[in-house]
């Protein structure tokens, strides 16, 4: 399979709007983005300091595609995305091949997802029990079998209780279950709950799913994730945004320098 077939979303284009350039979020696009932002590889990273605009642009792409959201409300109704939905109206997506598979995930929304799965499992168990008050015989067996089958499917997919796992373990389990071939996946700082070892596990998941025709666009601060082979890395610390090599990134060099000589940094604090 050729590389071009692995890339669903080829580029995004912005139409500058007079009169709104100084207003968030349009000022982010106007300040940071070239007219066209290309996605030349199956894995693209957005990196930059807090407030640099990487998450804003990622959210606008998710809103334009109208991807399902893991953990949060549907993108079309999430009030925290009101501004970026407005920005997405002035964004054009250029596809090599359109896909309707995929999702958008912000790490801070994930607790809501695990809570919803846990509550749904509990509700299904209570519903199965409640049938004993109104049904009997074959009708009871049929009703309880249907509901218990739904609960068992949840358990097989996500485990007995996602909340019993660490945050990082739970996220990895959901990603393994929810990332399917031929999809596009937008992840906003997925490394937040992960140890270095779990970040390597995430890299392994991404690598495997790229081989199954998936595309990833990821906003991150993690030098570990940024080391993914042959990824395109857009630095949002540059004006305009531009692709940088791994060893050119301030995130990477600062982390490397600190690990080599932590005392040189700490003595000035």
Residue 3 in this model has a pLDDT that exceeds 50: no
Closest Cα partner for 120 from 144, 149, 151?
Answer: 151
**CA 264, CA 241: separation in Å to the nearest integer?**
31
| pLDDT confidence band for 2 (50 / 70 / 90) | very low
| pLDDT confidence band for 57 (50 / 70 / 90) | very high
Instruction: Name the β-bridge partners of 102.
Output: 184
pLDDT digits (tens, 9 = 90+) for 148-172: 777 776 566 656 655 545 556 777 8
Closest Cα partner for 158 from 70, 48, 36, 251?
Answer: 70
What does the mean pLDDT of the chain come to?
83
**CA 115, CA 228: separation in Å to the nearest integer?**
31
Residue 114 in this model has a pLDDT that exceeds 70: no
**CA 62, CA 73: separation in Å to the nearest integer?**
13
Residue 94 in this model has a pLDDT that exceeds 50: yes
Q: Which residue has the higher pLDDT, 119 or 80?
A: 80
Which stretch of DSSP H or E encloses residue 102?
A: strand 102-106
| pLDDT confidence band for 194 (50 / 70 / 90) | confident
Helix ranges (H only) for 7-165 are 26-32, 54-65, 82-88, 110-130, 137-158
CATH code for the part of the protein at 3-109+183-266: 3.40.50.300
Give the mean model confidence (pLDDT) for residues 239-254.
92
pLDDT at site 116: 64
For 87-96, 130-139, 177-186, 212-221, which range has the lowest pLDDT when averaged over its residues? 130-139
Most confident of 113-127, 130-144, 178-192: 178-192
Angle between the 137-158 and 167-178 helix axes, to the nearest 10 degrees?
Answer: 110
| 188 contacts 195 by C-beta, under 8 angstroms | no
**CA 122, CA 119: separation in Å to the nearest integer?**
5
DSSP letter at 176?
H
Residue 100 in this model has a pLDDT that exceeds 60: yes
pLDDT at site 137: 82
| pLDDT confidence band for 73 (50 / 70 / 90) | low
**3-class SS at 164?**
helix
The whole-angstrom distance between residue 89's C-alpha and the CA centroid of its chain comes to 21
For 20-24, 108-112, 237-241, 260-264, which range has the lowest pLDDT when averaged over its residues? 108-112
Pull the structure tokens for residue 159: 């485990």
**3-class SS at 262?**
helix
Give the mean model confidence (pLDDT) for residues 205-219.
96
Could you tell me the pTM of the whole model?
0.80
DSSP letter at 234?
E
For residue 146, CA distances in Å to 63, 124, 226 come to: 35, 10, 45
Q: Which residue has the higher pLDDT, 116 or 87?
A: 87
Angle between the 167-178 and 110-130 helix axes, to the nearest 10 degrees?
Answer: 80
| pLDDT confidence band for 120 (50 / 70 / 90) | low
């Amino acid at each position: 399979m050729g590389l071009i077939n692995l890339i669903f979303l080829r580029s995004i284009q912005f139409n500058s709007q007079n009169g709104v350039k100084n207003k968030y979020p349009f000022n982010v696009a106007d300040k940071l983005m070239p007219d066209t932002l290309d996605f030349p590889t199956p894995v693209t990273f957005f990196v930059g300091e807090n407030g640099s605009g990487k998450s804003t642009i990622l959210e606008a792409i998710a809103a334009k595609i109208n991807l399902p959201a893991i953990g949060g409300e549907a993108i079309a109704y999430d009030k925290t995305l009101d501004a970026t939905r407005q920005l997405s109206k002035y964004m054009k997506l250029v596809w090599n091949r359109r896909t309707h598979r995929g999702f958008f995930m912000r790490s801070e929304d994930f607790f809501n997802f695990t809570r919803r799965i846990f509550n749904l499992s509990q509700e299904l168990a209570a519903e199965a029990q409640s049938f004993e008050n109104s049904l009997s015989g074959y009708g009871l067996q049929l009703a309880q079998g249907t509901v218990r089958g739904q609960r068992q499917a949840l358990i097989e997919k996500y485990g007995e209780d996602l909340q019993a796992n660490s945050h990082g373990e739970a996220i990895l389990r959901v990603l393994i279950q929810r990332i399917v071939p031929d999809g596009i996946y937008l992840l906003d700082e997925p490394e937040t709950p992960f140890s270095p070892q779990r970040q390597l596990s995430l890299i392994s998941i991404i690598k495997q799913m790229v081989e199954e025709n998936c595309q990833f666009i990821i906003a991150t601060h993690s030098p570990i994730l940024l080391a993914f082979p042959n990824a395109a890395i857009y630095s949002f610390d540059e004006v305009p945004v531009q692709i940088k090599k791994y060893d050119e990134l301030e995130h990477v060099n600062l982390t490397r320098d600190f690990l080599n000589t932590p005392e040189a940094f700490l003595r000035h604090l």
